[in-house]
Amino acid sequence: MKTNRWLVAAVVILGIALAAQSAYLFKIKNANADKKESSYPAASGAAHWGAAQPQQSARRAAPIAASTHAGHWHDPFSHSVLDSWDPFEEMDQIQNMMNRMFRDSLNRGPRGVGFTQQSTFYEPDLDVEETADAYIVRLDLPGVDKEKINVKIQNNILTIFGERKSEKEETDQKSGFYRMESSFGSFMRSFPLPVDADSNSMHAESKNGVLTVRFSKIKNAASTAKSIPVQ
Amino acid sequence: MLTQNPESPVLFPPVDIFETEHEVVLEAEMAGVPKEGAQLAIEGDELTITGNTAESDLPKEYTPLYAERRPRQYRRVFVLGAEVQKDKIRAHYENGLLRINLPKAEKPQPKKIAIE
């Protein structure tokens, strides 16, 4: 399900990028057409059916004019435009942006696990909310015992991990599964804490299959900033 | 009742269904549903499970920073086979997991009739 969501997001982003590029090219084309007409009043004035011949000759003359007037109007495929805007470069940028998005999406699972690779951990859904004086983190962990949930802070990174043991696996060897939609095994989520989160005030509680972790905010986090004189 | 709040869509809870020697066990994951919000109804051959989340412990004013979870309601309907003893169904809810035990009916033993 999660992979699907990312794929849909990726497709939507690419679609928007494509539309934006098309719109931009179309705009440039129109702008060129306008400028062309104003630069060659004779050609536009002769643009009626009875005078096809002079119009054609004007068209044939246009490429030559383009090289001499390159500074005044832009052909989307001429070098002057490609110097400042490269559609392939823009595609590259989008690609990089998306790679970053997949990589940094809340540090899902161990490093290097992309959406094409299967993680050995399953990743419960997570919410983070900020109030005036606290942060609240919530995770869906239905059917996981309190004793099997670990919450840890190390180097200011909050990690919630544990194991959801499937009792069925051991006790009911003979039994057949009709449906298996739940995730089980090891789970892990981790992410860096905000600067003003007070890790000493952490309070974790599991209720109705939802783990809630609360932190207070450090009131004057900004004032702890030190300025260092340059010598 | 389930369609009253368009902002909280009705979802299928993920389920595991497995069979043991004497019963079929159905486990539905309904994270965030309090015990009072989990319901089970049998109508004819249909077994309906519903769950309403009531996350009232949130403060009134907050800014979501990451939101993968959603306020939601659960509903799912299963059709029971004839071999399930409907009057002996048991359900247990704990920790966001609804476990339903559906006992299988004893197979009728062939009755031997002595030939006279």
pLDDT at residue A13 is higher than 80: yes
Asked if the Cβ–Cβ distance from A210 to B96 is below 8 Å, we say yes
- Sort out which chain A residues have CB atoms less than 8 A from B64's CB and list them: 127-130
| Rounded Cα–Cα distance for residues B81 and B79 (Å) | 7
Residue A18 pLDDT grade (very low, low, confident, very high; cuts 50, 70, 90): very high
Report the complex ipTM.
0.76
**In this predicted structure, what is the pLDDT of residue A83?**
57
CA distance A175 to B24: 9
In this predicted model, what pLDDT tens digit does every residue of B43-81 receive, in sequence order?
Answer: 988 999 998 876 655 666 778 887 777 667 888 999 988
Q: Given this structure, which CATH class describes domain B10-56+72-103? A: mainly beta
Which residue in B has a C-alpha nearest to residue A182's C-alpha?
Answer: B14
- Tell me the residue type at A210: V
Q: Which among A125, A180, A209 has the least Cβ separation from residue B96?
A: A209
Name the average pLDDT for chain A.
71
Phi, psi of B115 (to 5 degrees): -90, 125
| Extents of the domains making up chain B | 10-56+72-103
pLDDT in tens, B72-115: 788 899 998 888 888 889 999 988 899 999 998 877 777 888 88
Tell me whether strands B73-79 and B10-11 are parallel, antiparallel or unpaired: parallel
Mapped to the 3 state alphabet, what secondary structure does B38-68 carry? Answer: EEEEEECCEEEEEEECCCCCCCCCCEEEEEC
| Res B25 pLDDT > 80 | yes
Among chain B residues, CA nearest to A193: B65
Residues of chain A with CATH 2.60.40.790: 126-173+183-220
Q: Does A172 touch chain B (CB under 8 A)?
A: yes
Vertex B68 angle, CA A177 and B38, to 5°: 55
CATH number of A126-173+183-220: 2.60.40.790
CA B110 to chain A, closest CA, distance in angstroms equals: 26
C-beta of residue B26 within 8 angstroms of C-beta of residue B100:
yes
Residues A73-84 pLDDT 10s: 445 555 554 456
Q: What is the CA radius of gyration of chain B?
A: 20
Asked if B98 and B50 count as a contact pair (C-beta separation under 8 A), the reply is: no
